[in-house]
Each structure stands twice: as C-alpha cells, then as structure tokens.
Structure 1
C-alpha cells in the first residue's frame, strides 16, 4: 500500500490572517506551508509520518507540493527515508492544478499500481482515529470485492452542512450519494467527509477518466478531491469509517485551536493516529 499526501496548496487564507494579526505572535509562520506548521511537538505532516512509519501496510509515502514550497518539503523529508517529494510545477494559487490532478500526477509519476491512502496535508483527526483499524476494515471490504474504497466521516452540526460535502449512507455503511454543501433541510444526513480516502488499485485509472471528462470545465469542478469522490460513488463501491471529528487548518483561528489541543489536551502522543 502507498500513501499520497496532498500538500500543494498555498494557504492564502492563513497567510492573510497572519499578515493582519496585530499581536505579531505568529510572524514566524509567514511563508510556511500549512503541512509544515508546528502543531504540538512537530510539524503537522510529521504526525502522519510517525503513524505511517509504524504501519507495516504502507511502504512508500509520496508528498505532492508546489514549486514555491518544494525546497522546504525536501528539507523536511530528510528525516523520513520512506518519503518522496514531487513538485507539481506551479508557483502561485492561480496556477494550481487542483487536488485531484495532483493525486493523478503522483500516481502516474511514480507508476503506482497499488491501493493508495490519500491524505489532505492540512488535516488531523481526534484521538479515536486509528490507522490500523481503518486499514483493517479496508482489508475486510477488499475480501468481498477488490473494487471497494473506504472514506472517513464524522457527524457535523446542522448549521455546518453548508460548509462540507455530506455523505448519505445506507445500513451497510455504503455511500449512496454525496451532496456538496447542502442546506440542513436538503438532506437527512450530517455525515461530513474530510480529505482522507483509501482508494483501491482498481479505482486509480478512473482519475484519468474523471479529469478527461472535466478538462474543459472550471477548475472548481475538478479541484477539490470531494468532486472526484462524488463522481466515483456511482461507479465503484465506497464505504465509510466513522470517527468523532477532525482539525482542518484553514485560517489562523483553526490553526491556533489545533496547536493548543496538541499542546494541552492530547492524551497519548506516542499512539496518536496509529
């Protein structure tokens, strides 16, 4: 099994917040890619590498970044022999390829023909998440059909449905449809879906099909990984694994909340995510 960490974003909202912050407490974070932000005792992305390095099922980790942050990620990766960093060639937010195209780039560049864990580089989870349990459930699904895919979900509040992709799931925990930022009245579900997926090797060729279909459409229709997931649901079985919640580092407020949790509330750092 391989892992791809999507880290090619430019963090424009966060950088804007840091520039506007009058306390000047966060000046040292100017120009730092979100996955490399210090969270607790290490960089955000290092929490994932610690867990993945303990997992016998993941042999290689590919980190897709951009030309602007490429050198910083190369320097970070020196501490992790299993990591290979891929530059998507873009230098600003307007040039960005989009998350799905970055995933496709990694799959094609490294000739990946294996099941792939896809991780949003600005996302962490609460302590009930276990990489071991997640991959064990995937293996169970794969014994039934090699086309099975597995994604995470957590319950959001009524007023939050309009912020996320919401999954509608049947009694077998199979996803029936995904609604993008629906009003609470437009769906009975409150199952939000973060960027953390386990795609089967048989699903990977569909990245090319999806992007070919969308090549003339605006970037917004092929940028977010949830767009591919929504398209995939009608073509491959997708199941959910439930967790209690996540940290999504999008702006300065969400970053400080995440960092505070890891410094003050994390109960078992040694086993976190494992």
Structure 2
C-alpha cells in the first residue's frame, strides 16, 4: 500500500492576516505553509502525519508529498530535517490559489507521475489530530478487511457547522449510502463529518483518473470525488476516536480555534476512574422461555450489583479480585476447600473475554478506538450460583466502562446490541449456558417486557423490548440459598428436548410467552392478584417440564414455604433463588422468619429504575 499526503493548498487568507498583524505575535509564522504551522505540541502538524504514516505496518516505503511551487522549498527543507525522501516530493507547479488545480488534480498528478498501481492511502497534511490516540494501523486493517473504499469520519461536536464539511450517511453495514460535500442546511440530519483520510483500492484508481479528467473547475475537492464514488463502488465508513481539525481556508482566529480544539482533545480526557454498575435481576415472568423464542418480564434490582472501575494506565492491566480470583492460599487444604466450594470460575475471565470481544466488535464495526491503555478491576456483591445474573452483570459493567473510557455513544453501541454483545461473550467465548433476558435488563435497567419471537429475532437480530412503569409494580421479595450449588445445572436436557421438537416442551415455551403477555397487562392495570396467580402458574409449568429432581430439593423447599404463607413464588433465574409476591402483605414477616429459620436469605426487592444516574 502506498500513501499520498496532500499539502498543495494555498493559505491565502491565513497568510494575509498573519502579514497584516502588527503585534509581532505571529512574525515567525509569516510565509510558513499550513502543514508546517505549529500543532498543539508546538511541532509542525506534518511531523505528526509523517510519524503516523512512517510507522504504519501496512504502508511500504513509497510515501509521496504533493505541494505547490510557492511552498516547495519549505517542504524540501522539512524533508531533509525529517528523513523524508526528497525525490518523493511532487510539485504541482501552482503559485497561488487562483491558479490552483485542486485536490483531485493533485492526487491524479501523484498517481500518474509516480505510476502508482497499488492500494492507496490519501491524507491531508494540514489536519490536526491527537497522535497519542490515533491508530492508523487499525484504520488500514479495517480497509483490508472490508474490501471496499474507506472514508473516515468523526461525530461532530455541538456547535460545529456541518455545511463546511463533507457529511456521510451510513447504513447498518457501515456502508456510505450518501456523501454530501458541504451540504446546504436541511440536506441531511447526519452529523458524521468526513476527514481527509481515505483509502482507495488499486482497482479504483482508474475511476479517480476519469473523475479528474471530467471534473468541472467547481468540483475539484476530494469530497466531490467521494460524492461520485459512493454511487459507483462500495465505500465504507470508519469512525475515528477524536475530532480532526482541518486548517483549510481559514484565518488566524479559526487557526487558533482548531488548535484549541485539538489541545482540548489531547488534555480533556478524564484522568480519574470511570465506575459503572450492572444490577442483579429477577425474572418476574416467562423465564426460561427467553432462550426458546419466548417472552419474559424482568426487573433490575438495587439489592445487588457488579461494579467495574477503569483508569488510564501505561500498560493494560486486569486486576484479579482478591476473593473471587484468589492466587494466594493459606495451605493446600485451604486451596482445596475454596476450589470445592467456589470452583475455578472467577470474574477475571469475564473481564478478559469482554475486553477481547470489545476490540473485535469495534474492529468489525469500523470504530477506530483510541490507543489508550487502562487498569480494570471489578467487584460484586451478587450472590453466586443462585441464578441472579452475576456473570452477565460483571460483563455488562465492564462493557459500560469500556464504552465510556473510549468515548463511544449509544449510536456506536445501542442498548439491544449491548445485550447481544454480552450474550456472545458468555456463550461464544466462555461456553456459559445463557439466554438474552439477563443481558437485556442489565443494559436497559428498570422493568422490561421482552418478546423474543422468532420472526422478530430473525428480522432485526434482537427482540422487542418495552419498558414497563416500575411505579406500577407491587412489593416483591427475594429468597435464596445461603450455600448454593451450581445454578447452571438447572437447565438439564431441556435444550435437546426442545431442539428435537418434543411437543410438551415446545408448547410449554409458548405457554410461558402467553403468561408473559397476561402479566404485562396485569402490571399495567394494577391487577396484582392476577400477577400473583400467573407467577404460580409459571412455576408449576416449569416444574412440570423440568421435574423435581432437576429443580432440586432446596429450591422446592423455598417454594413450599412461600406457598404455605399464601405467597406467589417462582424462580427468578436458573435456580438457587425464588422471587415472590405476598397476596397479603401482613404475611411477609412470618414468611421471612421461616425462610431465615431454614438458613435461607430473605430480602425485600428494591427496583432499579431505568433513568437513574450512574453510581
């Protein structure tokens, strides 16, 4: 792959204002080409581009610089001082903006004069960026992977004028569907601004040549080329992590504004820790049908949570949890006892798998994340192995930290996609038996009705999710085993039976979905007794499908105690806990006492609302 750096623009207005200044403040900048003006760190802007291109593993030694006759000597001196091959500087022969031939002609000149017949990276050498966070190799890898042309962009900041930039519109596959060069107001609602950083396939260079020959004198920018190319060949977009400031046709004031924006980008990152939580959940209705194209209602609860903390660091460090990921033991007997009770499945593997999948997700989706390392740790008070979604909570908290740390938005990572992502971490990376319900509620919070019907899942890749008002919920309670076994065993062979088409299982999952629709209506209408009856029916059907041996003696004992006190009860997850609704609130005290007398933990459920701020 070869590279062309364009620096042939004439800074007529900027240079005139520099010469007219009488304060002497800008005397040293008079006559300096735009790309050689000081950047945020005081070095010439072009130095940063040369360093980035020169160290990119996908670019050969053939890097060309296209300038004009007026500034040629400046760049020749710069090349000598910076190890740039002087023979690779191309002079377009122009001496003023009125005689300028335009960026398209300059690019065509480089292709023709150097007989370029290879994939080509094209950048503007007077573009400000943050070299500490910009990963050019990541851009080039994405270009190679997609197999089409590539146009890089960033999300414009509030107040930036979209009519002064090239604006992209993308489809779900990150293909550029429209490119508008300096669009008039009202042309598009997109705020995705193109930067002069393009990758072209070798096969496309002929189209560039033809456009250069046919282009009118008013359509000589690279943006006009991209407007035409998106209609002729696949062009993909890649989001860059930072603002890119272009020193185009600007004056002194705008130059300083670009510098200030770039300096803010370099220094404005949060240096303090970013903390995110994901909460335990209780499945109120429909589970376990979420893994079988069913419907569920789930509630995030404040009682228990997992928390991730991320801070900038020179190297990437994942901290093991002192209790959940022990590496030191009092003795072999101590190690043996802890391993028997808690197994080998701490949270460290969840953090590592989430980070791996996050990098892959961004690479596949055309999101160039910044080159920033971090220290990541987690904590959790979610009881283990009782089916309250403790593993997915750790993954979700870590994901939310990564999204915040790398300044991604919900447009980059929509909530339904976050839920699918966490599910893929657990099922694909770690082989954990799981469904979507837990990941959806931990992404959304609040109380969510979920429809996983096959038609919906096939059409959009995720379910239909509807927030239900937490204010309409009755007081639920939660009980769980103080010393649980592995909750994952509760699924038994139900998957095989479903896949084989066993009528009882298939119709049972459909019945769970029907219970969920009825429960949604009961919640919205405030019919709490109806909701309680549906919870009992949900458990009875589960017991019928799974059998008592699979459900386990301790779980059945909790159900029996609850029903003794006239409380509705069901499993909130895969086993090890029960969630209940007392038909008579006065019976809750006696229910709690009997649970605790039998060494079960009992708490009143505290819902976690949808719109509550991050802790």
Is the shorter-chain TM-score for this pair beyond 0.5, marking a shared fold? yes
The count of residues paired between Structure 1 and Structure 2 equals: 262
Which has a greater percent of helix? 2
Task: Give the match for residue 4 of structure 2.
Answer: 4
Task: Give the match for residue 254 of structure 2.
Answer: 254
Task: Write the distance in 2 (CA, Å) between the matches of 1:104 and 1:212.
Answer: 9
Q: How far did 1:10 drift?
A: 1.2
Flag the 1:11–1:112 CA change in 2: closer, same or farther, 3 A: same
Q: How far did 1:184 drift?
A: 4.7
Q: How far did 1:138 drift?
A: 0.8
Task: Give the match for residue 58 of structure 1.
Answer: 59
Task: Write the distance in 1 (CA, Å) between the matches of 2:49 and 2:188.
Answer: 33
Task: Write the distance in 1 (CA, Å) between the matches of 2:78 and 2:14.
Answer: 21
Task: Give the match for residue 236 of structure 1.
Answer: 233
Indicate yes or no: 2:83 matched with 1:80: yes
Q: Is the 8 A contact 1:248 1:254 kept in 2?
A: no
CA offsets per residue over residues 53-105 of structure 1, 9 Å max, x none?
11121122100011111111111111224561011111111111100000000
Task: Write the distance in 1 (CA, Å) between the matches of 2:11 and 2:51.
Answer: 23
Q: Is the 8 A contact 1:49 1:80 kept in 2?
A: no
In structure 2, the gaps of 5 or more residues are 270-369, 372-615
Q: How far did 1:264 drift?
A: 8.0
Q: How far did 1:19 drift?
A: 2.5
Task: Write the distance in 2 (CA, Å) between the matches of 1:117 and 1:198.
Answer: 5
> What is the correspondence of 1:112-131 to structure 2 with a 5 Å cutoff?
112-126=116-130, 128-131=133-136
Q: TM-score, normalised by structure 1?
A: 0.87
Flag the 1:259–1:140 CA change in 2: closer, same or farther, 3 A: same
2:141 corresponds to which of 125, 133, 136: 136
Q: Is the 8 A contact 1:98 1:224 kept in 2?
A: yes
Task: Give the match for residue 145 of structure 1.
Answer: none
Task: Write the distance in 2 (CA, Å) between the matches of 1:72 and 1:198.
Answer: 27
Q: Is the 8 A contact 2:245 2:262 kept in 1?
A: no
Flag the 1:237–1:264 CA change in 2: closer, same or farther, 3 A: closer
In structure 1, the gaps of 5 or more residues are 143-147
Task: Give the match for residue 21 of structure 1.
Answer: 21
Task: Give the match for residue 94 of structure 2.
Answer: 90
Look up the SS of the partner of 1:186 in the other structure: coil
Task: Write the distance in 2 (CA, Å) between the matches of 1:73 and 1:205.
Answer: 29
Q: How far did 1:124 drift?
A: 2.2
Task: Write the distance in 1 (CA, Å) between the matches of 2:28 and 2:42.
Answer: 16
Task: Give the match for residue 178 of structure 2.
Answer: 177
Q: How far did 1:165 drift?
A: 1.8
Task: Give the match for residue 104 of structure 2.
Answer: 100
1:68 corresponds to which of 60, 67, 70: 70
CA offsets per residue over residues 180-231 of structure 1, 9 Å max, x none?
33345321211111211011111111122112222xx3x221x211011111
Q: Is the 8 A contact 1:153 1:242 kept in 2?
A: yes
Look up the SS of the partner of 1:75 in the other structure: helix
Q: TM-score, normalised by structure 2?
A: 0.40
Task: Write the distance in 1 (CA, Å) between the matches of 2:177 and 2:155.
Answer: 17
Task: Give the match for residue 153 of structure 2.
Answer: 153
Task: Write the distance in 2 (CA, Å) between the matches of 1:34 and 1:180.
Answer: 22
Comparing 257-266 and 132-141, the one that deviates more = 257-266
- Greater relative contact order (Cα < 8 A, sep 6+): 1
Task: Give the match for residue 164 of structure 2.
Answer: 163
Task: Give the match for residue 38 of structure 1.
Answer: 38
Look up the SS of the partner of 2:168 in the other structure: strand
Flag the 1:185–1:258 CA change in 2: closer, same or farther, 3 A: closer
Q: How far did 1:41 drift?
A: 3.8
Task: Write the distance in 1 (CA, Å) between the matches of 2:175 and 2:85.
Answer: 33
CA offsets per residue over residues 140-195 of structure 1, 9 Å max, x none?
112xxxxx111111122476122222111111110111123334532121111121
Task: Write the distance in 1 (CA, Å) between the matches of 2:20 and 2:111.
Answer: 38
